[in-house]
């Protein structure tokens, strides 16, 4: 929902990143800002990790906001990167965490390779960026920060546009889950799968409806149509499909601290969405 449509006091920002992945703020700062904005709660959806959940629960309690456990899983479908949000998975589900461990390990080898590639033309090191960091999920934003520190770029966006995008000669891919496998795993782990930013500007085209249909057949529950990076002109087709497939529509900011222009609470979901999630998941709080 857009801020103007609904009262923020019933709003949850259910897609946020902390310094445990590639956000620049702590979980505590996120909870504090959620409270300051007058939102009811938030979900922490760090990339491929739930390591921040315990801190987030504590922070939510101290700032008197509500916490919904979440994660954003890196997946691929038809050769394209597709991010899958998942809420309320069982933190002890062996199979999903074995898969996520592999995804994070692959992120590390991939970053090593990209450092090698970039080092041919850029003189920089990741050392300082990682020294002060609590990340367990390395990503290109950390490379961006290292290149910014070395003086090559002014912000992450510039670094992505110049050298970190998928068509860049410096780019290497990661081993990730197939989107359909990830959807099934999330369901098996008692979670609710929601496809993230299906019409994001960083993609060449919106998620095809035929792909969405396969996601639905695998168990997809929701679709993040209200996201600051979704392209408005790509939305009508996806809205019609979401309606046809009975998907729940979610909204969220995809906050990354100062790493992106997305502001916390820019977009949010109504409490009713969070209540529906809580009715069916293994870890509702
Ligand atoms: P990776 O996990 O290595 O594939 O990097 C993807 C992450 O980079 C996502 O979380 C995005 O939010 C972030 N990202 C992608 N493009 C940009 C950009 N132009 N500016 C800042 N962050 C970006
Ligand atoms: Zn990110
Ligand atoms: Fe994403
Ligand atoms: Fe995200």
Residue 88 has pLDDT above 50, yes or no: yes
- Model pTM score: 0.96
pLDDT of residue 58: 98
| Shortest-distance Cα residue to atom 1 of ligand 1 | 139
Residue 220 has pLDDT above 50, yes or no: yes
Ligand closest to 143 (CA) is 1
pLDDT of residue 3: 46
pLDDT of residue 6: 60
pLDDT of residue 201: 85
140: CA distance to ligand 1 center in Å?
Answer: 6
255: CA distance to ligand 2 center in Å?
Answer: 8
Sorting pLDDT into bands at 50, 70 and 90, what band is 84?
very high
Sorting pLDDT into bands at 50, 70 and 90, what band is 132?
confident
Task: Give me the percent of the chain exceeding a pLDDT of 70.
Answer: 98
Is 156 near ligand 1, meaning CB less than 6 Å away? yes
The residue-averaged pLDDT of 82-109 equals: 98
Sorting pLDDT into bands at 50, 70 and 90, what band is 164?
very high
- Residue 166 CA neighbour count, 13 Å, CB half: 8
pLDDT of residue 154: 97
| Shortest-distance Cα residue to atom 10 of ligand 1 | 22
Q: Is the dihedral of CA 101, 96, 55, 65 positive or negative?
A: positive
| Shortest-distance Cα residue to atom 15 of ligand 1 | 160
Is 104 near ligand 1, meaning CB less than 6 Å away? no
Rounded distance between C-alpha atoms, residue 11 and residue 282, angstroms = 22
The residue-averaged pLDDT of 192-209 equals: 94
| Shortest-distance Cα residue to atom 8 of ligand 1 | 141
Is 141 near ligand 1, meaning CB less than 6 Å away? yes
- Residue 208 CA neighbour count, 13 Å, CB half: 6
pLDDT, tens digit, for every residue of 1-57? 554 456 789 999 999 999 999 999 999 999 999 999 999 999 999 999 999 999 999
pLDDT, tens digit, for every residue of 114-131? 999 999 999 999 999 999
């Amino acid at each position: 929902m857009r801020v103007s449509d609904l009262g923020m006091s019933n709003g949850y920002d259910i897609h946020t990143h902390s310094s445990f992945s590639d956000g620049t703020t702590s979980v505590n700062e996120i909870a504090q800002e959620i409270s300051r904005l007058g939102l009811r709660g938030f979900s922490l959806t760090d990339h491929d990790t739930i390591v921040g959940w315990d801190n987030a629960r504590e922070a939510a309690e101290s700032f008197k906001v509500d916490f919904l456990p979440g994660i954003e899983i890196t997946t691929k479908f038809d050769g394209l990167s597709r991010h899958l949000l998942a809420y309320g998975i069982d933190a002890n589900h062996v199979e999903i965490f074995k898969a996520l461990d592999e995804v994070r390990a692959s992120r590390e080898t991939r970053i090593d390779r990209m450092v090698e590639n970039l080092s041919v033309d850029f003189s920089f090191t990741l050392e300082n960026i990682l020294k002060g960091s609590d990340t367990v999920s390395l990503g290109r934003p950390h490379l961006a920060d290292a290149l910014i520190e070395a003086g090559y770029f002014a912000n992450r966006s510039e670094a992505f546009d110049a050298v970190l995008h998928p068509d860049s000669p410096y780019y290497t891919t990661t081993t990730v889950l197939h989107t359909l496998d990830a959807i099934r795993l999330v369901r098996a782990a008692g979670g609710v799968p929601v496809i993230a930013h299906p019409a994001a500007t960083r993609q060449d085209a919106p998620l095809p409806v035929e792909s969405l249909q396969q996601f639905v057949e695998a168990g997809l529950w929701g679709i993040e149509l209200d996201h600051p990076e979704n392209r408005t002109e790509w939305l009508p087709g996806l809205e019609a499909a979401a309606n046809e497939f009975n998907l729940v529509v979610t909204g969220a900011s995809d906050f990354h601290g100062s790493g992106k222009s997305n502001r916390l609470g820019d977009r949010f979901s109504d409490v009713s969405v969070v209540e529906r999630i809580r009715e069916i998941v293994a870890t509702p709080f």
